[in-house]
Amino acid sequence: MNPNHKIGWKTAAALVISSMIGTGVFTSLGFQLVDIQNTWSIVLLWVLGGVFALIGAFTYAELGTNFDESGGDYIFLSKLIHPLVGYVYAWTSLTVGFTAPIAISVMAMQSYLSPIAPSIFNAWFGVAVILVLAAVHSVSIGQSGKFHNVSTAIKVGFIVTLIILGFAFAPVHENAIDLSGAWQDEILLPGFAVALVFVTYAYTGWNAAAYIVDEIKDVRRNLPKALVIGSAVVTLLYVLLQMVFLKHASVDQLSGKVEVAFIAFKNLFGSEKGHWISYFIAIQLIATISGYLWTGSRITFAMAKDHSLWRKLAVKNKNGIPVRALWFQAVVSMLLTLTGTFEEVMLYAGFVLQLMGTLTVASIFWLKGRQGAYRSPLKPFLQILFILFSLWILGYMLFERPRESTIGLLFVATGVTTYFMSKKKS
């Protein structure tokens, strides 16, 4: 690919930031407060999620700078562990890993915009958003990069504004701030581990730039920069934003609710101005959907090149865009949008992403690093910590939410089946 058509570290970091900041940060707190209500516990949840993301960023930076192909986990797992494992990752990315976050984002857009005109902002509105953004990303990498930089700037500007306003105004009379010592008991509850599933889902996307390594200039220098800086910025924004929500609403108001940002700012500014917060939350989700369409299609393309069952998707246009993979992913996302429910899709998607991400981090133990590639600090201790932490979350998830976990495992099992079907046709 012509170096002039590639993106720099700032656009790659924007891709990381926009992929991470989606629905999770605006919706997870309500589900967490059902079991975990101490402010220190909530802050710890989001800090742990950030540390978790940074360890992953270090690991993916090393993996990504050792390979020259876009495709992220599919490439790493196929070459370091086994083609079956890489294929299952690509399959789960296509069916749930990248398509579910897109579906969740458009479902959230609908719920935040529906007060304006319920008859317009329905499931078909979500389908229209996916179609438009798929069209935007079908032209060229340059256009994708420019669109993404603008939409991410809007996203970050909006969140920084919310944080400034939230800290500038006095807390509401009945708020959810609780700085007692109850956190010491709460972190031992099964609900704390389940809450971590929501948090790790909210941090999903810290590895986004690793999926497009052959579209990044000077990848050995710019990929680590994009992954680490992007993850660190998002961690800071996330922790501050949760504090704002807790400061301006009560536990009873927030517990079990999806629209926590609207509730908090409605208390602060009144219903009419609170609705404007909802509208901007919906608008900033455009960058999230854009990021998942961009990166997810690269995984599908990488898989399609190697497996006969999907080979018709392995086509790029004259500007190097894998258009068939992009549009196939868009169609699957639209189907999930029309058939799924918010919390269920979030939980089984979170379980699958956690499982496959853990396998990718473990794959670094099979890596024989090449000269000049980035090396993760404190290797292998950080990776071992990541894996143990992840297994703890997955174990609790299986125990506490067996239905959603089983749905996630069924997606994995179906991937294994289609792998052998593809091998048979080769």
260 Rama class: left (phi>0) / alpha (psi -120 to 50) / beta:
alpha
In 52-137, DSSP assigns E strands to none
pTM of the model: 0.82
CA neighbours closer than 13 Å in the CB half-sphere of residue 257: 16
The values of phi and psi at residue 216, to 5°, are -110, 130
Residue 381 pLDDT: 94
Query: What's the confidence (pLDDT) of residue 57?
Result: 94
Render 186-200 in DSSP notation, one character per residue.
Answer: HTTSHHHHHHHHHHH
Residues present in the chain in total:
426
What is the per-residue pLDDT for 426? Answer: 45
Where the chain has pLDDT below 50, the residues are 424-426
Q: How far is CA 133 from the centre of its chain?
A: 17
Query: What would the CATH number be for the domain defined by 3-425?
Result: 1.20.1740.10
Helices (H), 137-270: 141-168, 183-186, 190-202, 219-247, 251-254, 260-269
Domain residue ranges in the chain: 3-425
Confidence (pLDDT) at 41: 92
φ and ψ at residue 103, rounded to 5 degrees: -60, -45
Structure tokens at 166: 């939230």
| Residue 309 structure tokens | 């069952």
pLDDT the model gives residue 183: 83
